[in-house]
Amino acid sequence: MNRLIVVGAGPIGLHAALQATINGFHVTVLERGDIGAAIRRWPHVKLFTPFSMNSTEAGRAAAAETAPLPHGNELLTGDAYVRRYLSPLAKSEQLRKQIQTSTELITVSRNMYGKKDAVGKPERSMSPFRLLVRRRDGSETVMESEVLFDCTGFTARHRSVGIGGIPCPGERNCLTDADFEIAAPQSQHGSSDHTVVIGSGYSAATSICVMQDSSLRVTWITRGARDVPIAPVADDRLPERRALTDQANSLALHPDSSIHWCPGAQIESMEHNSGQYRLNVSFANGHRQTLVCDRIVANSGFRPDSRPFEELQIHRCYATEGPIKLAAHLLGETADDCLNQTGGAVELLHNPEPNFYILGAASYGRDSRFLLRNGLEQIEQLFDQIPSPMKALA
Ligand SMILES: Cc1cc2nc3c(=O)[nH]c(=O)nc-3n(C[C@H](O)[C@H](O)[C@H](O)COP(=O)(O)OP(=O)(O)OC[C@H]3O[C@@H](n4cnc5c(N)ncnc54)[C@H](O)[C@@H]3O)c2cc1C
């Protein structure tokens, strides 16, 4: 049992691969894009957790072989985190030969067992995982491993902006994947007279703060009818997150700001004609309004892509799509602040498919409280428990 494949070269995939290498596994990392591909989509956004929380001692030691490291208390942008830490980590002696970029996992099963065979039985582990993989040139190949980690994150598929989280009429024709990204500074995007930002999470807050620097007219639509668009975390211990919340909320509430906040709005339908969008929105009091704009920034959140793994025996939560044991633990936690929630015991990472683990943001499914620190702890806990080739030799 010494071949281990990690799917995804984000921060968690890279740290998992490093730990697996240290434990004597023969490791391969499959990444469909480039190192840190998901984080490269928001290069200008500052992480609100300091570098010390987003790295490990082993990771820092490996990355330091090829580049000077950030200080522990630095708050890096997405770009700096990839450039100054993840890329050097990927180039380290331990990992550089293990990573295959532009290589996508299409689907995976077992050599001798299909989904319905040997249900929940440990003997499934006697047959290696069989992965269908697509390479950069479009060619397909099969790979095998005894252990498999899903570190594919949760940003592969966006959520819809329509009522109830399904697309509203017209949404699928009007919006492309690019419209669901956090807004970049104006200079990178060309001009637009009126932008509508949709969402009430930190991504939408970031888009709002980025856009207020320009002379844009911005309408900010949120579904909830709270006093402020972004619910502040009580006594927030992450100053950068608190500052983002305060700034976005005060922009929404200040009468002289260029941001017009539209709370309690539901998007009924949308159209796109001659470069302009028409959004039909409704409110709880029965009022209806049509907004005309040149650009939509839909920060409605993401959901994991479990499709490559659907031939395996994985028990997922019907609410969050995360693996059921961890999801049930997280749903039972009352803490709103992700700093206060606990990852739970290593048993929560087990599911019916032997030697298969969902780690990192993917393990939280639609639960947006994931912090890198939680994923790094999962890796540490897991390698304390799983039998490794190194321990077998000792
Ligand atoms: C805007 C934003 C700001 C955030 N700020 C913070 C913060 O300040 N602090 C914090 O702790 N957390 C933060 N997070 C949350 C979290 O830490 C990040 O989302 C982080 O990127 C999760 O790491 P990951 O390795 O689990 O997944 P990802 O970084 O999403 O990596 C997954 C990788 O898997 C690859 N992949 C997906 N499917 C396949 C496939 N089929 N085959 C091969 N490869 C595949 C992807 O291309 C990607 O490279 C933030 C998230 C966002 C969106």
Crossing angle (nearest 10°) for helices 239-253 and 202-211: 60
Atom of ligand 1 nearest to the CA of 46: 8
pLDDT-based confidence at 155, cuts 50/70/90? confident
Q: Is the CB of 43 under 6 A from ligand 1?
A: no
94: tokens are: 């331990």
Task: Check pocket membership of 12 for ligand 1, CB cut-off 6 A.
Answer: yes
pLDDT tens profile 266-275: 999 999 998 8
- Is the CB of 301 within 6 Å of ligand 1? no
Task: Work out which ligand 1 atom sits closest to the CA atom of 53.
Answer: 11
A 10 A CB-CB count for 329 gives 17
The mean per-residue pLDDT over the stretch 311-323 comes to 93
**pLDDT at position 1, please?**
62
Write out the two tokens for 357: 């683990």
| Distance from C-alpha of 49 to C-alpha of 44, rounded to nearest angstrom | 15
Q: Give the per-residue pLDDT at 331.
A: 84
Q: What is the pLDDT of residue 336?
A: 59
Task: Confirm or reject: Cβ of 168 under 6 Å from ligand 1.
Answer: no
pLDDT at residue 69 greater than cutoff 90: yes
* CB of 29 shorter than 6 A to ligand 1: no
Ligand 1 touching residue 308 (CB < 6 A): yes
Centre of ligand 1 from the C-alpha of residue 330, in Å = 19
Q: Does the beta carbon of 152 sit less than 6 angstroms from any atom of ligand 1?
A: yes
CA of 194 to the centre of ligand 1 (A): 30
Q: How far is the CA of 10 from the centre of ligand 1 (A)?
A: 6
Residue 81 · residue 47 · CB < 8 Å? yes
pLDDT at 107: 98
What kind and span of H or E run contains 83?
none
| pLDDT tens digits for range 252-309 | 999 888 899 999 999 999 999 988 999 999 998 889 999 999 999 999 999 899 999 9
| Order of all β-strands in the sheet with 3-7 | 99-100, 26-30, 3-7, 147-150, 356-358
Ligand 1 pocket mutation, candidates 14, 32, 210, criterion most atoms within 8 A of CB? 32
Distance 118 CA to ligand 1 centre (A): 33
Q: Can you list the positions of beta strands (E) in the chain?
A: 3-7, 26-30, 99-100, 104-110, 129-134, 140-145, 147-150, 157-158, 194-198, 217-221, 259-262, 265-273, 276-283, 288-293, 295-298, 302-303, 356-358
Nearest CA to ligand 1 atom 14: 371
- Tell me, using a 6 A CB cutoff, whether residue 39 lines ligand 1: yes
What is the overall mean pLDDT for the chain? 92
Per residue in 31-44, pLDDT (tens digit) is 999 999 999 999 99
CA-nearest residue, atom 30 of ligand 1: 153
Pocket of ligand 1 contains residue 107 by CB under 6 Å:
no
Q: What pLDDT, on a 0 to 100 scale, did the predictor assign at position 346?
A: 82
Q: For ligand 1, atom 33, which residue shows the shortest CA distance?
A: 8
- pLDDT of 73 higher than 80: yes
Nearest CA to ligand 1 atom 7: 47
The answer, yes or no, to whether residue 149 has pLDDT greater than 60, is yes
Ligand 1 in reach of 37 Cβ (< 6 A)? yes
Q: Say which residue, 233 or 90, is predicted with more confidence.
A: 90
Q: Which atom of ligand 1 is nearest to the CA of 373?
A: 11
Task: Kindly indicate the confidence band of residue 162, based on its pLDDT and cuts at 50, 70 and 90.
Answer: very high
Cβ distance 333 to 315 under 8 Å? no
Ligand 1 touching residue 155 (CB < 6 A): yes
Class of the domain covering 160-298: alpha beta
Determine the pLDDT at residue 225: 74
Is it the case that residue 187 has pLDDT exceeding 60?
no
Ligand 1 atom 49: residue of nearest CA: 37
**SS3 state at 281:** strand
pLDDT-above-90 percentage for the chain: 79
- Ligand 1 centre to CA of 288 (Å) is 37
pLDDT at 156: 83
What confidence score (pLDDT) does residue 116 get?
Answer: 94
Q: Which fold has domain 3-155+304-393?
A: FAD/NAD(P)-binding domain (3.50.50)
Backbone angles phi and psi of 290, in degrees to 5: -110, 125
Delimit the domains of the chain by residue range. 3-155+304-393, 160-298
Contacts for 282-290: CB closer than 8 Å, 24+ residues apart:
284/225, 289/265
Query: How confident is residue 393, by pLDDT bands cut at 50, 70 and 90?
Result: low
What number of H helices and E strands is found in the chain?
10, 17
> Where is pLDDT greater, at 44 or 394?
44
Residue-wise over 335-369: b if at least 16 C-beta within 10 A, else e?
A: eeebeebebbebebbbbebbbbbbbbbbbbbbbee
